[in-house]
Amino acid sequence: MDGPGYSILGVPYDRTSSFRPGSRKAPDQIRKASYCFEPYIGEYDTSLTEIPLKDRGDLQISNEYKEMKRELGRTTREILSNDRFPIMLGGEHSITPVVVSELKERHDDLSVLILDAHLDFRDRYEGKKHSHATVSRRVSEIIDPANTYVYGVRSKAKDYGSEDTPVYFDRDDISYKKGSSSFDQLKDIQYPLYLSIDMDVFDPSYAPGVGNPEPFGLGSSHVKSLISEVSDRLVGMDIVEVCPKFDSGDITSNLAARLIYELIGSREC
Ligand SMILES: [Mn+2]
């Protein structure tokens, strides 16, 4: 079933998770949660059973960064060379720069939109360069900082500031004005675009099962409309930081699975 379509890949890696590890168990939990939904999405009049969608299963890796990077890089190249749209299921957020790096080889003008409660712009965290807490810094080194967008931020280190900071939107600055597009603030964004969803961008009431929960977050409808506005200009996505061990009632896995339906449905309509 090669050729245009979607490839789902689980990346069971959470080596640097510092607070609540366990996101390496998320890919399977997100798959299980997806069984609760009808394949037909009425809003977009699209059925997932009629779309070329291949689940490649999980990367067979130990929890070591170098191995994850090598295997994820190799498999991403394979997915892209088959002209398929990659949907990566983390795992922790440090998988994102590996995928971005491969996409940049194909799209010189790539932008990246990261939905995240955390700015994650440290150069190192706990001595590690490749950590869940250094993601936007690593991404902005691969593409231009001006093309790196972080949306939904409500936690950052005090000494984050430099001219190389990505474009970021604090949660408190995001407009919820009735009638305005949730995407208005990102109107200068360039395409093609890669979307990385750290599930902690949501308020913990929507997504309690994450590595680093942060109160006062975004609602699910807001993120849904944002996804549908950008989806047809995306070249890949990941969804990271679901932590099943802390996920009461599988709420977070359920939302993660439904966001993937949303992405595919809104691209196909
Ligand atoms: Mn985060």
Please check the confidence at residue 19 and state whether its pLDDT lies above 90.
Answer: no
Q: What is the 210 CA–ligand 1 centroid distance (Å)?
A: 9
Q: Which domain holds residue 248?
A: 5-268
- What band does 231 get if pLDDT is binned at 50, 70 and 90? very high
Q: Which amino acid is at 94?
A: S
pLDDT at 1: 43
CATH number at residue 31: 3.40.800.10
pLDDT at 159: 63
pLDDT at 20: 87
Q: What is the 212 CA–ligand 1 centroid distance (Å)?
A: 6
How far is Cα 190 from Cα 211, in angstroms, rounded to an integer?
30
Contact 225, 43 (CB under 8 A): no
Q: What is the sign of the dihedral through the CA atoms of 216, 133, 101 and 240? A: negative
Q: What is the 7 CA–ligand 1 centroid distance (Å)?
A: 24
- What band does 176 get if pLDDT is binned at 50, 70 and 90? low
Q: Which amino acid is at 109?
A: D
Q: What is the 186 CA–ligand 1 centroid distance (Å)?
A: 19
Q: What is the 200 CA–ligand 1 centroid distance (Å)?
A: 5
Q: Exposed e or buried b for every residue in 8-18, given b needs 16+ CB within 10 A?
A: bbbbbbbbbbe
Mean per-residue pLDDT over the chain, rounded? 91
Mean pLDDT of 13-37: 93
Q: What is the 97 CA–ligand 1 centroid distance (Å)?
A: 14
Q: What is the 181 CA–ligand 1 centroid distance (Å)?
A: 24
Residue labelled with tokens 């849904």: 224
Please check the confidence at residue 185 and state whether its pLDDT lies above 60.
Answer: yes
- What band does 173 get if pLDDT is binned at 50, 70 and 90? confident
pLDDT at 241: 97
Residue labelled with tokens 């997915």: 79
DSSP line for 13-56:
--TT--SS--GGGHHHHHHHHHTTS-SEEGGGTEEGGGS-EEEE
**Residue 266: helix, strand or coil by DSSP?**
helix
Predicted TM-score (pTM) of the model is 0.95
Q: What is the 117 CA–ligand 1 centroid distance (Å)?
A: 5
pLDDT at 229: 87
Please check the confidence at residue 73 and state whether its pLDDT lies above 70.
Answer: yes
Q: What percent of the chain has pLDDT over 70?
A: 94
Sheet holding 167-170, edge to edge: 53-58, 5-11, 84-90, 234-240, 193-198, 111-115, 148-153, 167-170
Number of domains in the chain: 1
Q: What is the 118 CA–ligand 1 centroid distance (Å)?
A: 5
Q: What is the 3 CA–ligand 1 centroid distance (Å)?
A: 33
